[in-house]
Amino acid sequence: MLPWNGLKSTYSYTERDAALYALGIGACASDAVDEDELKYVYHEDGQKAIKVLPTFAALLTLESLPNGFDLPGLQYDPRLLLHGQQYIELYKPVPSSCHIQNKVSLAGLHDKGKAAILEIETKSYEKESGDLLCMNRSTVYLRGAGGFSKSSKPFSYSSYPSNQTSAVKIPESKPFSVFEDRTHPSQALLYRLSGDYNPLHSDPQFAKVAGFSQPILHGLCTLGFAVRAIIKSICKGDSDRIKSITGRFLLHVYPGETLVTEMWIEGSRVIYRTLVKERKRTVLSGSVDLRGLNSSL
């Protein structure tokens, strides 16, 4: 049996966690009464529960590997670990509070010579109903951990179809929509309170050892900004239209930088790329599949 396969873990959250997460990815940051976003942080107009952003689903996996990414025969320096990609499939809207049962499996392991790439799949079930809520596939890029197999035939294992990867081709045409948003210098300090306490995002010395001039933003925080941009610009504020999300982290983001998300529509899919305005560099790209896009544009 492959390591971790069938590993079970639990995770519970409340409305407070969902609201804190929304603030952590910039909801209502530039307009405290934003008509699309107040519902993520406040019970507006008698609304019974906080609405949960779809990217919150990625947090349900936070405690699913209690011993880190340890695999027999794989050696890595945790300080050099980076988030490479995220894939999220949503089967129903994320509830405002829930007890979750997770099932974890190894979805991929690749020897890239200078790095090892690990892919972890987590299926999250609502404990009470037993319903499958979402599936996450997280890719971890372990710098310096490659070279564990023959360089003439590098090891590569994947449990899922190749058409579910996060690498997208960006169209050459003008984007359908462009959304600009400024992260706050304390963005990572706020976002970490949602449960990812890796010092890479808060400790200047740790960040230097990892090769950065200062602490960097969590990849999932950047992804949250990008998907919020899509919800605002294309879904007219209706986050329930998001069916699946892919994102590949191409370059680090420093808290305080401005994120510009460009979007193109291909059928019911939104292709996007996010750039850091100050450095004119692409930091993230991916796609978002929507329910019922054509009928409402």
Q: Minimum CB separation from ligand TC6 for residue 83, in Å?
A: 4
The C-alpha atoms of residue 223 and residue 220 are separated, in whole angstroms, by 5
Burial 89-111, CB ≥16 within 10 A → b, else e:
bbeeebbbebebbbbbbbbbbbb
Q: Minimum CB separation from ligand TC6 for residue 85, in Å?
A: 4
Q: Out of 137, 192, 248, 273, which residue is the one contacting ligand TC6 (CB under 6 A)?
A: 248
How many residues interact with ligand TC6 (rule CB under 6 A)?
20
Q: Out of 112, 182, 184, 269, which residue is the one contacting ligand TC6 (CB under 6 A)?
A: 112
The answer to whether 71 contacts ligand TC6 (rule: CB under 6 A) is: no
267 is catalytic: no
Q: Out of 52, 145, 216, 270, which residue is the one contacting ligand TC6 (CB under 6 A)?
A: 216
110 is catalytic: no
The answer to whether 249 contacts ligand TC6 (rule: CB under 6 A) is: yes
> Among residues 110, 201, 218, 252, which one is catalytic?
201
Q: Out of 57, 140, 234, 260, which residue is the one contacting ligand TC6 (CB under 6 A)?
A: 140
Q: Out of 39, 137, 192, 218, which residue is the one contacting ligand TC6 (CB under 6 A)?
A: 218
Give, in order, the Cα–Cα distances in Å from 293 to each of 36, 37, 75, 79, 231.
18, 20, 45, 41, 12
Question: What is the SS3 assignment for the chain?
Answer: CCCCCCEEEEEEECHHHHHHHHHHCCCCCCCCCCCCCHHHCCCHHHCCCCCCCHHHHHHHHCCCCCCCCCCCCCCCCHHHEEEEEEEEEECCCCCCCEEEEEEEEEEEEEECCCEEEEEEEEEEEECCCCCEEEEEEEEEEEECCCCCCCCCCCCEEECCCHHHCCCCCCCCCCCCEEEEEECCCCHHHHHHHHCCCCHHHCCHHHHHHCCCCCCCCCHHHHHHHHHHHHHHHCCCCCHHHEEEEEEEECCCCCCCCEEEEEEEEECCEEEEEEEECCCCEEEEEEEEEECCCHHHC
The residues in 261-280 that bind ligand TC6, with binding defined as CB under 6 A, are none
The answer to whether 252 contacts ligand TC6 (rule: CB under 6 A) is: yes
Q: Minimum CB separation from ligand TC6 for residue 146, in Å?
A: 9
Q: Minimum CB separation from ligand TC6 for residue 154, in Å?
A: 8
The residues in 187-206 that bind ligand TC6, with binding defined as CB under 6 A, are 198
> Among residues 25, 50, 120, 216, which one is catalytic?
216
The answer to whether 219 contacts ligand TC6 (rule: CB under 6 A) is: yes
The answer to whether 74 contacts ligand TC6 (rule: CB under 6 A) is: no
Q: Minimum CB separation from ligand TC6 for residue 176, in Å?
A: 25
45 is catalytic: no
> Among residues 17, 110, 196, 242, which one is catalytic?
196
113 is catalytic: no
| Residues forming the active site | 196, 201, 216, 219
Contact residues for ligand TC6, defined by CB under 6 A: 82-85, 112, 115, 117, 138-141, 198, 216, 218-219, 248-252
